[in-house]
Amino acid sequence: MSRSNRSAMHVGCPNCGATVDATVPPGPGIGGDDSNRLQGKQANCRNCGHELELYYY
């Protein structure tokens, strides 16, 4: 069985409260190289279509 290097995220939609599932690719984290480089990803709520922008290190 293969394993993904991505971490699952579950956040609440600010518009309707439904759970939005997204994945975050691996990265150095806050203490790694380029620790000040913030990255982002877009996700859409499957319940109401609200667009979310998720940011991570």
SS3 category, 51: strand
Per-residue pLDDT of the chain (57 residues; tens, 9 = 90+): 445 677 888 999 999 999 999 887 776 666 656 556 778 889 999 999 999 998 877
**Distance between CA atoms of 55 and 47, rounded to whole angstroms?**
21
Instruction: Give the per-residue pLDDT at 2.
Output: 47
Instruction: Give the per-residue pLDDT at 12.
Output: 94
Helices (H) and strands (E) in the chain, counts: 0, 4
The residue extents of the domains of the chain are: 7-56
How is residue 17 written in tokens? 């409260």
- Residues 6 or more apart in contact with residue 30 via CB below 8 angstroms: 57
